Amino acid sequence: MLDPNSTRDVGPRVGAPLWGYLASTTAAGFALLGVSLFNFGLDRLQELAAKPLIWVILCMVIIGELRPIVRSRMPSDDGVPTSLPFGFALLISYGLPVAGLVQAIATAIAGVARGYSTHRTVFNLAQYTLSFGAANAVLLLASGAAPWVPHGPELLIVMLSGATYFVSNLVLVECAVAMHERVPLHLAFGKDLGQRLFVNGVLFSLAPLVVVAMNHSVWLVPLFSLPLVALYTSATLSAKREYQANHDELTGLANRKLLILRTQEALSEAQQRKQRVGLLLLDLDRFKEVNDTLGHPTGDRLLQTVARRLAHSVRPGDLVARLGGDEFAVLLPQVRDAASAREVAARLRVSLAEPVRLDGMDFDLEVSVGIALYPNHAPDFELLMQRADIAMYVAKERRTGVELYAPHKDRNSTARLSLFGELRRALAEGELEMFYQPKVSLDDHRAVGLEALVRWRHPKRGILPPEEFVPLAEQSYLMRSFTHEVMESTLPRISHWWSEGHRLPVAVNLSARELLDPTLPEIVAAGLSRHGVPPEALRLEISERVMVAEADAVTPIILTLSDLGVSLSLDDFGTGYFTLARIKGLPVEEIKIDESFVRRSVDDPDGRVIVESAVDLVGTLGMRAVAEGVETAGVAEAMHAMGCYAAQGRFFAPPLEAAEVVDWLLKNGGLDHSSGERTTSA
């Protein structure tokens, strides 16, 4: 199974402690094998080679080496080979030279078949020889010379010998792992010890039975493959399930669940040893463009490339995770200081710097990285994540690439940054609330619609207007949950009002970032059907600024949205340099004339001419004009005279809390309405 986090096969630097350890162990193992074979003698080996039994066992050992029982948590691990009962049976029957030689042949074959590097294979070979050597010493001490058929109480000696094999093998391997992954020895030993003991125990218990079978008939030996296949299959299945639960399907990287688990382990370890833990959050810049222009399959391949590159740029023991979309995290369970964390971040950025070639095109990837450290910035995973988030957001905003979380950098942005963290929480805890502003016909002053306007009921700062937090959401990955929140609080209201007979279209505003999200039509369609809202009850407002900046990118999404049956309106008209002719062909029903434009048209005669001709053109194009920000009766009349069919503004009604809407409609709105009193501004 693909595991980009597996860096265990990268050879150690010559002269490094790990290199020294591997080299000396390997040399010792080979020396032991050589000496024991020499003592055994070629004649006896040739004699044995004539026996079919040896060949049958060799086959079983090779198959067993190729089918190890993997430990569930580390699929990249060697696991416990199912060759153990046969290799150990050979040791019991013929001693170290034969068992060692057969095992060495099988290890070499398995190493080649599984694509292991040479240094890994020769180390494995030596490690087996040394472990068999230790087990053999116990047998020799207890009983003299092989061959030896166990029966009765002598089984105890076999058990002792098996235990010796287990311990020596564990020590030899885990010392290497501990050096490689820079974890303390006791941690390496302790990992899954119970499961390892169990699997090894089961396999060792078969060895004496294999010996008995060997003494009876060679044909009995292969029968042992049946229980081993059963054991192997069930272990593999459960390892696979656990792997799937902890890894991202697309990239094979760790998922959020595994990241949380490993971070928590790292934090408790760091707490005891007074060390630092680093959490890096990475977000690809402009990944959307690839997804949007070349489609998801290409985007997926790009993500896989990114995953591979990231996984190869970290040290063994570090964890790369994908959190979803184009967001990745890297856990550094041990990091010396902020400078080292920055170095890792720089290395990760360099790894992505080389363009990725897909479908014959080169893509330049850039990534923004936010760093937070334990214990400097946060005491737990949640906060660490939040701080790394904030740092990443600063990196994106300032285009610096890498930022370390720093609460004191500058006061202004600190307030904003902490607001960003709070917004995350607010979204999770439902602190956003929709207000609704009526839109009124200028002919008869009846309500013709409502506009949903988001507010944040901040626990300390009171009600915050959208400009304080929508841009924050827009510049971060929070946008999707923001859209979701807005839809999920507006649609049930619409459904309720329509079922009570207040059948007015309700408009929801969409920002550029929302319109650039290819999943937006799905979110809208799913919301409509979930809440039983007819599409004509929903209107979507798209700001003119978006049309000026992103017309080409958003047009396909606008068309898909209109296919759903929802109507569209062009918001804030007059704030950009949008020419209405460009709207031709787009299914826009209504143009909302921005409040600034409305004001100007009343104050200055030139403005009046411009607005008048714009409203004219709107009519010619088959759309209707709505005046925004109408604050006085005079403005309402003027806009009516210029040809606007409806208006919105405090002169008619301020944005209302949802609970006030029906009352307002009954008093002033969609029902019988006299042209006398108005609800005036708040």
The residues of the shown chain that bind ligand C2E, judged by CB under 6 A, are 437, 453-454, 465-467, 470, 486, 509-511, 514, 541, 543, 571-572, 595, 628-631, 649-650, 655
Shortest Å, Cβ 233 to ligand C2E:
53
The single residue listed with the structure tokens 């896989």 is 304
Burial 89-104 (b: 16+ CB within 10 A, else e): bbbbbbbbbbbbbbbb
Shortest Å, Cβ 528 to Mg ion:
19
DSSP-derived pairing of the beta strands 356-358 and 361-363: antiparallel
470 interacts with, out of Mg ion, ligand C2E, none, CB within 5 to 8 A per kind: ligand C2E
Is 250 exposed, middle or buried, given 0-12, 13-18 or 19+ CB atoms closer than 10 A? Answer: middle
Shortest Å, Cβ 511 to ligand C2E:
4
Nearest CB to Mg ion, comparing residues 242 and 541: 541
97 interacts with, out of Mg ion, ligand C2E, none, CB within 5 to 8 A per kind: none
Nearest CB to ligand C2E, comparing residues 154 and 541: 541
CA-wise closest residue to 113 among 54, 80, 67: 67
> What pairs with residue 332 in β-bridges?
278
Nearest CB to Mg ion, comparing residues 107 and 509: 509
CA pair distance 550, 159, nearest whole angstrom: 74
Nearest CB to Mg ion, comparing residues 78 and 628: 628
Candidates 310-318, 407-415, 536-544, 549-557 — which segment interacts with Mg ion by CB under 5 A?
536-544
Shortest Å, Cβ 596 to ligand C2E:
8
- Under rule CB under 5 A, residue 433 binds Mg ion: no
Candidates 36-44, 525-533, 565-573, 664-672 — which segment interacts with Mg ion by CB under 5 A?
565-573
Torsion 403-405-408-411 (CA) sign: positive
Nearest CB to ligand C2E, comparing residues 129 and 490: 490
φ, ψ for residue 139, nearest 5 deg: -60, -45
Do residues 428 and 478 lie in contact, with contact meaning Cβ atoms separated by under 8 Å?
Answer: no
147 interacts with, out of ligand C2E, Mg ion, none, CB within 5 to 8 A per kind: none
280 interacts with, out of ligand C2E, Mg ion, none, CB within 5 to 8 A per kind: none
Shortest Å, Cβ 342 to ligand C2E:
35
Which amino acid, one-letter code, is at 527? G
110 interacts with, out of ligand C2E, Mg ion, none, CB within 5 to 8 A per kind: none
Shortest Å, Cβ 512 to ligand C2E:
9
Nearest CB to ligand C2E, comparing residues 131 and 437: 437
Shortest Å, Cβ 595 to Mg ion:
7
Nearest CB to ligand C2E, comparing residues 174 and 451: 451
673 interacts with, out of Mg ion, ligand C2E, none, CB within 5 to 8 A per kind: none
Nearest CB to ligand C2E, comparing residues 306 and 561: 561
Shortest Å, Cβ 596 to Mg ion:
10
- Under rule CB under 5 A, residue 541 binds Mg ion: yes
Nearest CB to ligand C2E, comparing residues 139 and 516: 516
Burial 595-607 (b: 16+ CB within 10 A, else e): bebbebbbeeeeb
Candidates 206-214, 401-409, 627-635, 641-649 — which segment interacts with Mg ion by CB under 5 A?
627-635
Candidates 107-115, 468-476, 624-632, 656-664 — which segment interacts with Mg ion by CB under 5 A?
624-632
CA pair distance 131, 136, nearest whole angstrom: 8
655 interacts with, out of ligand C2E, Mg ion, none, CB within 5 to 8 A per kind: ligand C2E
CA pair distance 402, 396, nearest whole angstrom: 8
CA pair distance 281, 405, nearest whole angstrom: 11
Shortest Å, Cβ 648 to Mg ion:
8
CA-wise closest residue to 62 among 106, 103, 128, 127: 106
List, as one string, the DSSP characters of 322-347: EEETTEEEEEESS---HHHHHHHHHH
DSSP letter (8 states) at residue 14? T
> What pairs with residue 363 in β-bridges?
356
φ, ψ for residue 174, nearest 5 deg: -70, -25
650 interacts with, out of ligand C2E, Mg ion, none, CB within 5 to 8 A per kind: ligand C2E
* Strands annotated E in 241-318: 277-285
Alpha helix locations (H) across 500-519?
512-515
CA-wise closest residue to 278 among 382, 371, 348: 371
Shortest Å, Cβ 429 to ligand C2E:
18
Shortest Å, Cβ 483 to ligand C2E:
8
Nearest CB to ligand C2E, comparing residues 162 and 629: 629
φ, ψ for residue 290, nearest 5 deg: -65, -50
Do residues 165 and 139 lie in contact, with contact meaning Cβ atoms separated by under 8 Å?
Answer: no
Shortest Å, Cβ 592 to ligand C2E:
7
The packing angle between helices 225-246 and 256-273, to 10°, is 90
* Strands annotated E in 307-400: 319-324, 327-332, 356-358, 361-363, 366-374
- Under rule CB under 5 A, residue 124 binds Mg ion: no
> What pairs with residue 439 in β-bridges?
449
Shortest Å, Cβ 465 to ligand C2E:
4
Nearest CB to ligand C2E, comparing residues 249 and 467: 467
Candidates 55-63, 212-220, 564-572, 630-638 — which segment interacts with Mg ion by CB under 5 A?
564-572
Torsion 441-447-453-456 (CA) sign: positive
Nearest CB to ligand C2E, comparing residues 42 and 682: 682
Shortest Å, Cβ 572 to Mg ion:
4
- Under rule CB under 5 A, residue 283 binds Mg ion: no
Nearest CB to ligand C2E, comparing residues 266 and 487: 487
CA pair distance 278, 340, nearest whole angstrom: 9
Nearest CB to ligand C2E, comparing residues 149 and 428: 428
Shortest Å, Cβ 650 to ligand C2E:
3
CA-wise closest residue to 568 among 515, 610, 529: 515
SS3 category, 535: helix
> What pairs with residue 329 in β-bridges?
281, 321
- Under rule CB under 5 A, residue 571 binds Mg ion: yes
The packing angle between helices 96-113 and 17-40, to 10°, is 130
Candidates 435-443, 472-480, 523-531, 535-543 — which segment interacts with Mg ion by CB under 5 A?
535-543
Among 7, 169, 263, 509, binds Mg ion (CB under 5 A): 509
Do residues 344 and 280 lie in contact, with contact meaning Cβ atoms separated by under 8 Å?
Answer: yes
DSSP letter (8 states) at residue 416? H
Nearest CB to Mg ion, comparing residues 77 and 571: 571
- Under rule CB under 5 A, residue 572 binds Mg ion: yes
646 interacts with, out of Mg ion, ligand C2E, none, CB within 5 to 8 A per kind: none
- Under rule CB under 5 A, residue 590 binds Mg ion: no
DSSP letter (8 states) at residue 594? P
Which residues are near Mg ion by CB under 5 A? Answer: 509, 541, 571-572, 628
